[in-house]
């Protein structure tokens, strides 16, 4: 297939595909799917071998968010029956993080709901970072607190944070349809503030919100231009009690094509399979390891993931290996600059009301064609909430039960 040969060659050279080439990946048929995965897998192995980086989420503050992000179970007006609690104390967060590190996580992602942190909140998180680093000197810590104000990224960096996450989530053209309480430009500004402070930037997307192929390509090309070190790909978890609870647009095949497209556009970046993988990829999760080089271990912010041991078994059974703490994740040409998706180069999830990495989280037309609407298959029955596929997190941080790690 000439398209795939071209994309592999470009990926090995870190060259940007054309928009038409990216759209064509999303438009491939199910008969071509394994060829697409194999091609993107060559690019993945060139830059990351068969290593899989493990990341662990700690939800420092759950629910109670004033933002109206339609995908989010912690949003303003959400009726989702999630855990709601205010800030964990540093020692509580440290204990939660220790479970993930014991399970093999190389990075701990500290997430808090809300529009953005106050200076007092930054002090709290700084104390938590210091507590974690004191116990686990080599662990990476990523903060994900929403929109940053001037100077806050520098303070987090000084406290020992390695990375900051803030997702773009969807294309600039459709962002206002998903969130009205902040803008796409606000998100871009926060990622750039993190980069300017020397933090490794992480920014990704949520697929499955009714977007078109053109929207998906737009946001991934925007991410490449923004140049984060890691790109988490979330698949919408339609949580009961949220506006998108009935938006079940994804199939496992669709998810794999999206991951392949992201890999071709951002060949040498940490592509992380984030929220929604168990819900939408299901039994095809191991195949996705040929496309991504990073996953979250165990549970997410407000929903449960599969068991941590199942994650580890899946990695081993698929012929991959867990990345060790003494291994640098990014290729050598990206490490000195520590900034980037595309041609140079660190890595990191995102807070609700400002992001949402690992928290929950369409359409095909002919090559290069914008169909204007998501061309997903018409369901045979009316779409309804799928509580059988989505379990609310009731263990770990904010509870008295042991975490899943």
Q: Write down the pLDDT at residue 387.
A: 55
| Distance, CA of 60 to CA of 22 (rounded, Å) | 37
Mean pLDDT, the chain, integer: 86
> Which pLDDT does position 264 carry in this prediction?
98
d(CA 148, CA 171): 21
Percent of the chain topping pLDDT 90: 69
Q: Is the confidence at residue 122, as pLDDT, over 60?
A: yes
The share of the chain scoring above pLDDT 70, in percent, equals: 86
Are 327 and 270 in contact by the 8 Å Cβ rule? The answer is: no
Mean pLDDT of 363-390: 42
Which tokens hold the place of 288? 């996705």
Copy the structure tokens of residue 94. Answer: 């440290």
CA-based R_g, the chain, Å: 19
* Domain locations in the chain as residue ranges: 2-322
Q: What is the CATH number assigned to the segment(s) 2-322?
A: 3.20.20.70
The torsion of the CA quartet 143, 145, 147, 153, rounded to 10 degrees, works out to -40
Residue 57 has pLDDT above 70, yes or no: yes
Q: What is the pLDDT of residues 263-272, one digit of tens each?
A: 999 999 999 9
The predicted pLDDT at position 241 comes to: 81
Q: Which residue has the tokens 């529009």?
A: 115
- 């060659």: which residue's tokens? 9
Active-site amino acid positions: 65, 69, 72, 109, 142, 202, 272
pLDDT of residue 391: 77
Question: Do residues 142 and 110 touch, judged by C-beta distance below 8 A?
Answer: yes
Coil, strand or helix: which one is 133? helix
pLDDT given for residue 378 in this prediction: 36
User: What is the average pLDDT across 342-349?
Assistant: 37
pLDDT value at 357 more than 50: no
b or e along 359-394 (b: 16 or more beta carbons within 10 Å of the residue's beta carbon)? bbbbbbbebbeeeeebebeeeeeeeebeeeebebbe
- Check whether 400 has a pLDDT greater than 80: no
């Amino acid at each position: 297939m000439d398209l795939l040969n071209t994309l592999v060659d470009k990926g090995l050279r870190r060259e940007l595909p054309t928009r038409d080439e990216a759209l064509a990946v999303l438009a491939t048929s199910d008969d071509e799917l394994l060829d697409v995965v194999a091609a993107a897998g060559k690019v993945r192995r060139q830059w990351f071998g068969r290593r899989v980086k493990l990341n662990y989420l700690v939800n420092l503050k759950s629910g109670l968010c004033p933002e109206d992000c339609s995908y989010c179970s912690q949003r303003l007006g959400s009726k989702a029956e999630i855990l709601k609690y205010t800030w964990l104390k540093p020692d509580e967060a440290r204990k939660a993080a220790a479970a993930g590190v014991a399970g093999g996580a190389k990075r701990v992602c500290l997430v808090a709901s809300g529009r953005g942190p106050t200076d007092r909140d930054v002090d709290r998180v700084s104390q938590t970072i210091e507590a974690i680093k004191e116990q686990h000197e080599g662990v990476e810590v990523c903060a994900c607190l929403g929109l940053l104000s001037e100077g806050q990224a520098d303070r987090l960096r000084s406290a020992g944070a390695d990375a900051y996450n803030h997702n773009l989530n969807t294309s600039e053209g459709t962002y206002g349809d998903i969130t009205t309480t902040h803008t796409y430009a606000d998100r871009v500004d926060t990622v750039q503030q993190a980069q300017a402070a020397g933090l490794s930037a992480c920014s990704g997307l949520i697929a499955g919100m009714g977007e078109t192929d053109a929207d998906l390509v737009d946001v991934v090309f925007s991410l490449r231009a923004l140049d984060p070190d890691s790109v988490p790909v979330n698949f919408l978890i339609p949580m009961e009690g949220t506006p998108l609870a009935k938006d079940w647009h994804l199939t496992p095949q669709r998810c794999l094509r999206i991951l392949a497209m992201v890999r071709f556009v951002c060949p040498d970046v940490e592509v992380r399979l984030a929220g929604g993988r168990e819900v939408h990829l299901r039994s095809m999760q191991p195949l996705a390891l040929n496309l991504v080089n990073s996953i979250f271990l165990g549970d997410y912010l407000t929903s449960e993931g599969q068991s941590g041991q199942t994650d580890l078994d899946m990695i081993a059974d698929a012929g991959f290996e867990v990345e060790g703490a003494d291994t640098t994740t990014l290729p050598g040409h990206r490490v000195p600059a520590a900034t980037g998706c595309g041609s140079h180069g660190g890595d990191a999830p995102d807070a609700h009301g400002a992001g949402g990495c690992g928290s929950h989280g369409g359409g095909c037309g002919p090559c290069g064609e914008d169909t204007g609407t998501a061309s997903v298959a018409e369901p045979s029955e009316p779409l309804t909430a799928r509580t059988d596929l989505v379990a609310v997190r009731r263990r770990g941080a904010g509870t008295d039960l042991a975490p899943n790690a």
